[in-house]
């Protein structure tokens, strides 16, 4: 019996020690696994496109490009290209900006960084359209001087506010246009194309002589379709 009790105690102690060893070993395995997982995960740096603009050829964009380059290095971003325009921001067509938007659709970069909003967009509506297109393409937008980054909650909130303001502006303009049209109609103003006076006698005479509608239009200076519609209404 004493030998049996000693054996049972030995087995119990062995099981307990083994359990302790397993409990101690698990954290070690977890740390090792985490280490290997961390080494296996390679975080690729974001690809960024820098955009600069100056109004005239005499101005220099070095200040913008230098600060944007430093910011990209701070964020550990890979600079894909720098797009630079030298022209007024009011221009609808800007070669570098057009190239940037085309490259965005090709997926060349993940972030667009500008020095300031007014260097990029000519108006709030233009900015909003660009931001909406970037959002649809999964591209973040950063404005350095305004400290706006659409990848952050604050940046997303500002984007939402801008969208709301732009929508309010569009609604206000639409209401004003409709109100103006109603007021003009009450004053007797007619909208649409001006009424074209057709000399039905002359057109009928030319038609009776076998002239084509094209020839009649050239003779009278009245569009061919207008002459045909007048004829179909029985005016001729």
First-to-last CA distance in the chain? 132
Parallel, antiparallel, or unpaired: how do β-strands 140-143 and 148-149 relate? antiparallel
Considering only CA atoms, give the Rg of the chain: 37
Contact 92, 169 (CB under 8 A): no
Which residues partner with 203 through β-bridges? none
**Distance between CA atoms of residues 42 and 14, nearest Å:** 43
Per annotation, catalytic residue among 16, 55, 147, 151: 55
Q: Is 177 exposed, middle or buried (0-12, 13-18, 19+ CB in 10 A)?
A: exposed
Total H helices, total E strands in the chain: 9, 5
- β-strands 47-54, 111-114: how paired? parallel
Q: From CA 92, how far away is CA 51, in angstroms rounded? A: 16
Whether 84 is a known active-site residue: answer no
Active-site residue numbers? 55
């Amino acid at each position: 019996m004493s030998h049996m009790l000693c054996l049972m105690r030995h087995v119990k102690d062995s099981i307990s020690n083994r359990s302790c060893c397993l409990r101690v070993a698990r954290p070690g395995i977890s740390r090792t696994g985490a280490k290997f997982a961390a080494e296996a995960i390679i975080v690729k740096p974001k690809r960024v496109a820098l955009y600069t603009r100056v109004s005239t050829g005499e101005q220099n964009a070095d200040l913008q490009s230098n600060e944007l380059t430093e910011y990209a290095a701070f964020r550990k971003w890979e600079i894909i290209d720098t797009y630079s325009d030298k022209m007024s921001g009011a221009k609808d067509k800007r070669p570098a900006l057009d190239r940037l938007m085309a490259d965005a659709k090709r997926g060349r970069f993940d972030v667009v960084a500008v020095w300031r909003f007014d260097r990029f967009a000519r108006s709030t509506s233009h900015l909003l359209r660009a931001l909406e297109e970037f959002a649809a393409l999964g591209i973040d937008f950063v404005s350095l001087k305004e400290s706006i980054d659409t990848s952050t909650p604050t940046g997303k909130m500002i984007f939402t506010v801008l969208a709301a303001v732009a929508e309010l502006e569009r609604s206000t303009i639409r209401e004003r246009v409709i109100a103006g049209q109603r007021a003009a109609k009450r004053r007797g103003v007619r909208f649409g194309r001006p009424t074209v006076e057709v000399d039905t006698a002359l057109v009928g005479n030319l038609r009776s002589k076998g002239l084509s509608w094209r020839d009649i239009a050239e003779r009278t200076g009245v569009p061919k379709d207008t002459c045909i519609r007048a004829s179909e209404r029985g005016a001729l």
